[in-house]
Amino acid sequence: MSLRLILTRHAKSSWDDPTQDDHDRTLNTRGQRAAPAIGAWLHAHGHIPAEVVSSTARRTLETWELLAPELGNGMVMRRDPELFHATPEAMLRALQGCAASPLLMIGHNPGIAEFAARLLSRPPRHPRFDTYPTCATLVAEFDAADWADVEFGTGRPVDFVVPKDLTD
Give me the helix-helix angle, 29-44 and 58-71, nearest 10°.
40
Once rounded to an integer, what is the mean pLDDT over residues 104-119? 97
Residue count (the chain): 168
Task: Give the model's confidence band at 168: pLDDT under 50 very low, under 70 low, under 90 confident, else very high.
Answer: low
Cis bond leading into 102, ω under 30°? Answer: yes
Once rounded to an integer, what is the mean pLDDT over residues 32-52? 97
pTM of the model: 0.96
Q: Of 72-76, 89-93, 137-141, 160-164, where does mean pLDDT reach its minimum?
A: 72-76
For the chain, helix, strand, coil in percent to 5 are 35, 20, 45
3-14+23-165 folds as: Rossmann fold (3.40.50)
Q: What is the pLDDT of residues 141-157, one digit of tens each?
A: 999 999 999 999 999 99
Q: What is the dihedral of CA 43, 143, 52, 94, to 10 degrees?
A: -150
Residue 51 β-bridge partners: 76, 103
Once rounded to an integer, what is the mean pLDDT over residues 34-51? 97
Q: Of 14-23, 45-54, 59-68, where does mean pLDDT reach its minimum?
A: 14-23
Dist. CA 5–CA 105, nearest whole Å: 7
